Chain A
Amino acid sequence: MRLRRCSLLLLLPLALGREAHTQTPSTNPADLLLEARSKGSATAPVTVYEMSDFQCPYCRRQAVETFPELERRYIATGKVRWVFINFPLTQIHANAAAAAEFAMCSAKAGMFWPIHDLLFKYQDKWAPLKDPAPFLLSLADSARMGRDAVMPCLTTGEMRAVVRSDADGAARSGAGSTPTFYIEGGLLEGAAPLADFVGILDSIYNAKVTRKQ
């Protein structure tokens, strides 16, 4: 288990929605849809930023095998707030940026998490496609949000800058691979097993709660 120290300042532009580069359309956190891609109470003592790539097999492993249990133990119980940050590794994953853009357009339609789950579930289907767009749109049908909910957003490409801003912020925070987790000042790199998360989250949560009392 490796938890590398890291400054939140580096991640702040994306965490707080500050302008990360000139092509970011807005400085308003609402426009970065942070709420739409967060899970858990806004007042949870611990916040985890997951910097992830929908086409990365280790991110899939994390999302499918580890995250559901983390959600049950920490997010549903109000201990942890979980925020998804796009970090598509475009040099090695040709469809990662398209998937991230699709997920963000789904976030705009209030459907980020269902699409998040479907993207990881069917990663092996869309990842090798030369043009993943038709398959991705079929996921909109599977999630029962309908293509019309995402088509205008995909057509204008308005989420491209948000995805890029996410990725730039992730790189600035010190992430060099996916998944990487920013947990209260430290970076956890790689698809860590549940036991690692439990050790880290319990210790941070206990320290924070004890300090408050």
Chain B
Amino acid sequence: MLAGLACSSPEVAVRVSIPGADAVEAPVPNLPLVFLPYDRDSIIAALEARAPTPRPNARTLDSLFEKFRAPFEAYADAEGRAGKLRDSLEGIKRHLDSLPRNAPEYKTEYLRFSAGFDSLKALEKVRDQRQQELDKARTRLGPKIDSLRTAMRQWESTTYHGYDSLTAQLAKSRGRAPIADTTGADGRARLRLIGKPWWIYARSWDAQDPNQEWYWNVPVTRDSLVLDRQNGKRRPRY
């Protein structure tokens, strides 16, 4: 049967991978990706260049973010280590449950479990202390950060006022509407793009800093693209 025999543009495969909380590169599942028929960065830059005043409060916010980062990293480190130890103890416990009480291996495994359990308790204590420090930092810095962010939102709202109509015009003039997709559990997405040019736009939380994000605005120049720290920008999440 001939039906279905057709020429079609190649699929574009995208993989997203960034450092996780433990700094190890990992795929990013369920990440919204938007394929745009225009370069959003150049539009944003043009709108910012027209703004009568520069973005307010950026330096102050950066400095507050910096103050928040240390207690957050300390907490995240303790929680990460506690989590790993907890997983490891779960494994030992499952092994113990599968052994007869009088097995020679049982005693050594039990001692391992017991020592690990004590370490976990100590680590959880450290983690709780660091969580308190983090909460204090949040209470101390949070209201100031929120108020500066509100002022920045107002500036953004004025500065980027024309963004939607500009991009709608651009999409119309190029005869292509933005296409949204989401990465699968493996951090990958595939889709077929007709015509060119296209850019992929995506943002992901930075697992290592709640006040930072990963941002991509990458031209689609190949059939296979990786969004990672090489072509992403780690930027403040104002």
Contacts and interface: CB of A to CB of B under 8 A. Distances in A.
B8 interface: yes
A57 B173 CA distance: 30
B5 A190 contact: yes
Interface string A47-62: 0000001001111010
Interface stretch (A107-115, A146-154, A165-173, A204-212): A165-173
Chain A, interface size: which category? 35 or more
Interface in B1-25: 1-10
Interface of B: 1-10, 172-177, 192, 194-196
A89 interface: yes
B2 A61 contact: yes
Contacts of B177: 172
Given A165-B175, A168-B195, A176-B192, A193 B3 contact: yes
A99 B118 CA distance: 76
A23 B177 CA distance: 17
Q: Which of A20, A21, A23, A56 is most buried by chain B, counting CB atoms within 10 A of its CB?
A: A21
A175 B8 CA distance: 10
Q: Which of B7, B8, B9, B177 is most buried by chain A, counting CB atoms within 10 A of its CB?
A: B7
Given A91-B196, A192-B2, A193-B2, A168 B176 contact: yes
Contact of A177 (B6, B173, B175): B6
Nearest to A196: B3
Interface string A152-189: 00000000000011011101100111111000000011
Nearest to A89: B9
Given A59-B7, A92-B10, A176-B8, A190 B2 contact: yes
6 tightest Cβ-Cβ pairs between the two chains A and B: A168-B175, A177-B8, A56-B7, A177-B6, A171-B194, A190-B6
Contacts of B3: 1-2, 188-193, 196
B5 to A, nearest CB: 5
Given A90-B195, A188-B3, 20 more contacts: A58-B7, A59-B7, A61-B5, A91-B196, A93-B7, A164-B175, A167-B195, A168-B175, A172-B177, A175-B194, A176-B192, A178-B7, A180-B6, A189-B4, A191-B6, A192-B2, A192-B3, A193-B1, A193-B2, A196-B3
A71 to B, nearest CB: 18
B9 A91 contact: yes
A22 interface: yes
Q: Which of A23, A92, A176 is most buried by chain B, counting CB atoms within 10 A of its CB?
A: A176
A193 to B, nearest CB: 4
A169 B192 CA distance: 16
B200 to A, nearest CB: 16
B173 A58 contact: no
Given A21-B174, A23-B173, A171-B175, A92 B9 contact: yes
Interface string A5-32: 0000000000000001111000000000
A90 B196 CA distance: 9
Nearest to A193: B2
Contacts of A169: 175
B20 to A, nearest CB: 34
A192 B4 CA distance: 7
Contact of A21 (B2, B5, B173): B173
